Amino acid sequence: MRVSYNGNANISTFSATPANLSPSNFRAAISAKAPQEFDFLGDQSTDWVSEVIGNAWGTDHNLSVSGGSDKISYLLSGGYLKNDGVLNTSAHEATSLSANISTKLFNDQLLVNIKSKAGFTTDIFAPNVIGAALTFDPTRPVLDPDSKFGGYYQWADPLAVNNPVSTLNFNNQKGETVRTLNNLTLEYRLPFISGLSLHSNVSYDRTDGDRRNFRDPLLKDGDNFNRGGYLFLQDERLYAALIESFGTWKADIPGSNSSLELTAGHSWQQFDREYRWTQGFGLEQEGNDWIYTQDINADSFLVVNRLISFFGRLNYTHNNRYLLTASLRRDGSSRFGESNRWGLFPAVAVGWRILEEDFARDWNNLFSNLKLRVSWGITGNENIGDFLYNTFYEYGTGDATYQFGDEFVPTLRGRGVDPDIKWEQTTSLNVGIDFGFLNNRLSGSIEGYRKYTNDLLFTVAASAFTNLSDRILTNIGEMENIGVELQLDAVVIDQKNFSWDLGFNFAHNRNEIKKLDNSTDPNFLGYEAGGISGDIGQTIQVLKVGESIETFRTYKHILNENGLPRP
């Protein structure tokens, strides 16, 4: 048995020099630039940045125990991490436990591996008060015994910046997460059929998270004080399960100097996300906790995503020179409607170890590896949101109610969808050469590829009066990628106590949209994309035939005779 421990303690400090004025310099600036305001300054000297930041202590401990025999091996470990934040009140704490156990049963014909991990995380989030600390009047005190805001000095103007210390101490944002990952792997080598083995992989990943955001009724933050404080509670659950089973048969073909490997299997995956939240104002203390009494809102949802696959693969090797791999997958995703749920994805690859040929025997003086490879295949993309093929209804916003007498009734609005969305498919052709020199101390590869995507999935604007939303996710067209990649690796120094490796890579890719909405018309203006932050409804990118995906569309400056932009 072997026991190992490592730990450390650390301290973090705010090393930057704040750019704001010190209290004395602030008074001097007011005296010089706005002397009429000097009499309104306070009589304190407060370094607000120092009031909200401080030294942060941290510690990290890890303990592991390992051992075993020729039939069983194990590794058990645990860790604890605690870090305070440089910003006061912030902190991160994490505890982890893990176990890895492997054993052999039934005359070593059954291999069992169990892995389990658990993590417990607590985060305390501090509001960003650095801006307030840099701009708050340094001639004012932190505390004011006559203040109605919990004893903290505050400006009377509701639009003025708030006391940053008050904001830190009257905010409480806390998140707690528990995550467990469990995996069981089985491999059984059948004694009565040579070369046949059965494999099974079962895993379960669960995350439970809770978040609490509390703003004290005494906090002067927008209208928080007038509305009696704020409380937000969130509860989130994530589940991911996998059951995968497959069989593999390996055999040498008599009299042909060839080997064959066949694999066939089934995979089932499910992802669940459950989410609930409530919020409200008008807080009242009940025991040691707070409850909200006004403007209470709540919502919840449960989303389930499932992916089922059937797959098969063939590997064939002849004379250790010629390599062939062929595979076929049939994948079904719940993210598409029933008529488009399944996709078929074949692939084939061949390789040629040239140095094994008789005519290349003299090349061994130069090359230590020389392999030509070609592959072709189709892959599918279902990386989109859930249930985007089905219309769901949700309550409209508060400004979209309808009046019936003296009552305002919220509206229900449908989500725009394309019920016929289907798998995005990419057909790839790759040709490459792997090479090595000096016993592979210098090695690399060069590869060219072409990838052609059909039924490209993208969110675009819908034609007027054709859907329930102005933008929907749908299959919009075809796209091509053509490129070349070069990889070079070198082992410069390879000694017992010192090694030095160098790597270099180069890649060039040309991307072009070939078709949109079954049209190759280059005059089609395309679909707008890439919204501009702060400019509602405006975009800066476009999807257009003949251009790269999400090409930026901007104005060009008109230049004068000196090559400078005209005003």
Q: Quick: pLDDT tens for 244-265.
A: 999 999 999 988 889 999 999 9
The distance from CA 535 to its chain's CA centroid, rounded to whole angstroms, is 26
Instruction: Find all residues with CB under 8 Å of 451, minimum gap 6, and list them.
Output: 426, 427, 428, 429, 480, 481, 482
Q: What is the pTM of this model?
A: 0.81
Residue 172: φ, ψ to 5°: -140, 100
For residue 225, CA distances in Å to 220, 298, 400 come to 5, 22, 28
pLDDT in tens, 298-314: 888 889 999 999 999 99
d(CA 228, CA 293): 9
Least confident of 165-169, 495-499, 527-531: 527-531
Euclidean distance between CA atoms 545 and 528, whole angstroms: 13
Ramachandran bin of 181, using left for φ above 0, alpha for ψ from -120 to 50, beta for the remaining angles: beta
The neighbour count for residue 397, using CB atoms within 10 Å, is: 9
pLDDT digits (tens, 9 = 90+) for 72-128: 999 999 999 999 999 999 999 999 999 999 999 999 999 999 999 999 999 999 999
- Contact 125/109 with Cβ under 8 angstroms? no
How far, in Å, CA of 354 to CA of 537, rounded? 58
Give the residue from 389, 392, 396, 386 showing the smallest Cα distance to 417: 389
Distances (CA, A) of 11 to 53, 56, 63, 84: 13, 6, 22, 9
CA–CA separation, 301 vs 514, rounded Å?
39
Q: What is the 3-state secondary structure (H, E, C) of 482-496?
A: EEEEEEEEEEEEECC
Q: Compute the distance between CA of residue 498 and CA of residue 501 in angstroms, rounded to an integer.
A: 10
| CB 476, CB 518: distance < 8 Å | no
Q: How far apart are CA 298 and CA 278, in angstroms?
A: 4
User: What's the pLDDT at 535?
Assistant: 67
Instruction: Kindly tell me the number of DSSP H helices and DSSP E strands found in the chain.
Output: 4, 26
Residue 221's SS3 state is coil
From residue 6, give the alpha-carbon distance in Å to each of 19, 60, 120: 40, 8, 20
At which residue do the structure tokens 């050469």 appear? 433
185 strand-pairing partners: 113, 201
Residue 463: which pLDDT band, with cuts at 50, 70 and 90?
confident
With tokens 């059954």, the residue in question is 110
Mean pLDDT of 521-545: 78
Residue 46 has a pLDDT of 94
Helix (H, G, I), strand (E, B) or coil at 25: helix
pLDDT band of 425, cuts 50, 70, 90: very high
Distance CA 278, CA 121 (A): 22
The residue behind tokens 């730990």 is 7
- Report residue 516's pLDDT band, with 50, 70 and 90 as the boundaries: confident
Smallest CA-to-CA distance from 11 within 59, 50, 63 is with 59
- The backbone torsions φ and ψ at residue 52, rounded to the nearest 5 degrees and listed phi first, read -110, -10
On the question of pLDDT at 518 being above 70, the answer is no
Over range 452-475, report the average pLDDT. Answer: 83
- Do 203 and 181 form a contact (C-beta atoms < 8 A)? yes
Of 157-161, 499-503, 554-558, which has the strongest mean pLDDT?
A: 499-503
Question: Cβ of 506: how many Cβ atoms within 10 Å?
Answer: 10
Banded model confidence at residue 192, pLDDT cuts 50, 70, 90: confident
Residue 481 to residue 479: CA distance in whole angstroms: 7
The rounded distance, in Å, linking the Cα atoms of 107 and 332 is 39
Q: What is the pLDDT of residue 80?
A: 97
End-to-end CA distance of the chain: 77
Q: How confident is the model at residue 151 (pLDDT cuts 50, 70, 90)?
A: very high
Question: What's the gap between Cα 209 and its chain centre?
Answer: 17
User: SS3 letters for 327-388?
Assistant: EEEEEEECCCCHHHCEEEEEEEEEEEEHHHCHHHHHHHHCEEEEEEEEEEEEEEECCCCCCC
- For residue 92, what pLDDT is reported? 97
Three-class DSSP category at 405? coil
Report d(CA 441, CA 391) in Å as an integer.
Answer: 59
482: tokens are 């053509």
Is 258 strand, coil or helix? strand
> Among all chains, which residue has been given the structure tokens 């089922």?
308
- Kindly give, in sequence order, each residue whose CB lies less than 8 Å from that of residue 542, ignoring residues fewer than 6 positions away: 525, 526, 527, 528, 529, 550, 551, 553
**CA–CA distances in Å: residue 404 to residues 321, 395, 408, 409, 412:** 81, 17, 6, 7, 15
Q: Please give the mean pLDDT across all residues of the chain.
A: 91
Amino acid at 265: G
Q: What is the reported pLDDT for 364?
A: 86
Distances (CA, A) of 22 to 27, 28, 137, 141, 270: 9, 10, 10, 14, 58
